[in-house]
Amino acid sequence: MNGPKGKYAWTVKVGEKGQFVIPKEARELFGIKPGDTLIILADEKRGIAIPPQDMFAQLSQAIFSGNLPGESEEG
């Protein structure tokens, strides 16, 4: 599914073991290849995110510094 420019949505089915396949178009768009390690971020209110690999350093720095955008000090 294509939305506004630069925005995409895909559907996936979760199997019995909790696994799902990242759609080919998404893998190509984000350069995800077999054997790559991905980070899964989750927030009970906002959902699950799988950020692009090049954001790992930025995200880990933000997470460990406690300086995440959109988060208040109250959590």
Residue of 75 and 44 predicted with greater confidence: 44
Task: Using the predicted structure, report yes or no on whether residue 10 has a pLDDT greater than 60.
Answer: yes
Contacts of 14 (CB under 8 A, 6+ apart): 20
CA separation (Å) from 30 to 8, 45, 74? 12, 25, 33
In whole numbers, what is the pLDDT of the chain averaged over residues? 83
**Residue 8 DSSP symbol:** B
Task: Using the predicted structure, report yes or no on whether residue 1 has a pLDDT greater than 90.
Answer: no
**Model confidence at 71, in pLDDT bands (50, 70, 90)?**
low
At 5, list the tokens.
Answer: 């420019």
Please write the tens of the pLDDT for every residue from 27-37.
999 889 999 88
Confidence (pTM): 0.63
